[in-house]
Structure 1
């Protein structure tokens, strides 16, 4: 009589064994409840259980492959003007959005965190932002790059001519503040342009001497190199006002500027010094932060948001 344990399997038995083996190796989906694990989690988490490795695996990456729209707003938009910053913040803000302003040179910046936290409510992602980094105008870069750097007379004269549109007349308040401070007289734009043209004429002349007058003005005397040349005296203003937008499409910043020269062996070197220009830029950035807060209706803080 044949041994039943050694009897050959029929087709049904083989299929049954295959089904049981496949089921034993296949992953299954389970749901884990998250009650008591803290805020910021869904009520249940779908997980795959791998029977082979006896381990749970996340389904998130697999699910994300089939997502047809983002699950939330995130990313950082960069704008080039204050007006665009305000308009874009208005487009995306909600009741918990906030503004941050870094007002210190050399990298001032306004940042809107549109999905910011609020006290007493669950934390949010803080990953949807708008940044305005105050791009400098080319004209302002030119003034800063040349600040306190000695120039040959012809180059200095050309610089004043090229930047004539950025020269301004001082107000009465500016005169009363800076003339006693520097013990110098303010120059008007026309006086500076006249100076640049005088310097162009005397570009090949030698400087005999420089004198400070009782009025506070200074003069230098030019002479040609042949012996019978008549000396030509040029009055040099001590301070002048620069007025120009520091930031693209921004308001004009006014900076008092000292005019200086050095005479060495008959040659003269010219330079200017922008007075506390970083302070005036910080002041403008602070004003722009207040303007953005006022026009968007959002709270504003000096500093930077969490990374």
Structure 2
């Protein structure tokens, strides 16, 4: 190879390696000195001042927050889905249109959270406790006790705590709908002395199932067992699953009344 052949090749190599200004939004093919070609893709959002489209999923915890975000970002083709099993409401803000597909990558997700009080009442539902544990449970949940009043239920709880050193022998239902427990004192100073303790057969509680939702009334039916371990007490909530479903349906209804799009039953693709 002569010097006259080498000079043009060297000039081309210097041109390939020389820096040049390129514009975002394009794809460039760059010839390397070794004869290979490098692809430089500058079409990504990281090379722009703003993204080309909205993406991501925003999670909110109540209906008010859902409608606030919806009002800001939805369009006439946005879709909303409610899933009662998962307790979620999802909006696909850039859903497909009747004339073509869209990315469906910008979403709003309402994931309801059960309140602490709701979870505690459901956790102890149907479980029997000793007298003191039952009394402490009632004392810890006085704000949720509606009928009888919290003051009356506190008095009942204190009666159970005071009757720890007694032998409960029987219980029967009164015409008034209350439950009366018969007991015999076991303390040395009052041994053999008989007494009775009357408590309501049912009581009504008020619970808020989800953060930010409305409150609902539930009826709790008193449960008891008298055995070798003494008196054990508990309650059984009447149809809590129905209340949970109603609460979710009410959230869906509240959102439906604030948006101009039907809320579909199911999940999005």
- Coarse TM-score class (shorter-chain normalised): 0.7 to 0.9
Report the Cα offset of residue 192 of structure 1: 3.2
Q: Structure 2 CA distance, aligned partners of 1:97 and 1:59? A: 35
2:222 to 259, 265, 281: 259
Aligned position for 2:89: 110
1:20-73, Cα deviation, whole Å (9 max, x unpaired): 678999xxxxxxxxxxxxxxxxxxx9574989679xx8754x432422221110
1:88 to 69, 72, 83: 69
Q: CA RMSD in A?
A: 2.9
1:91-148, Cα deviation, whole Å (9 max, x unpaired): 11111112211112xx311112111123x22111111111121112211121112112
- What's the TM-score, normalizing by structure 1? 0.73
Q: Structure 1 CA distance, aligned partners of 2:100 and 2:244? A: 38
Q: Structure 1 CA distance, aligned partners of 2:16 and 2:67? A: 60
Query: Which structure features the higher share of strand residues?
Result: 2
SS in 1 for 2:47: coil
Aligned position for 1:162: 140
1:64-90, Cα deviation, whole Å (9 max, x unpaired): 242222111011111122211121111
Q: Structure 1 CA distance, aligned partners of 2:28 and 2:3? A: 37
Change (3 A) 1:49 1:278: farther
Change (3 A) 1:153 1:50: farther
Aligned position for 1:223: 184
Give aligned pairs, total.
257
Structure 2, gaps ≥5 residues long: 18-25
1:16 to 8, 29, 43: 8
Q: Structure 2 CA distance, aligned partners of 1:72 and 1:59? A: 22
Superposed, 1:1-307 pairs within 5 Å as: 8-10=2-4, 13-19=5-11, 48=29, 60=41, 62-64=42-44, 65-104=46-85, 107-118=86-97, 120-169=98-147, 189=150, 191-214=152-175, 216-225=177-186, 229-265=192-228, 267-306=230-269
Whose Rg is larger?
1
Q: Would you say the 8 A contact 1:101–1:286 is kept in 2?
A: no
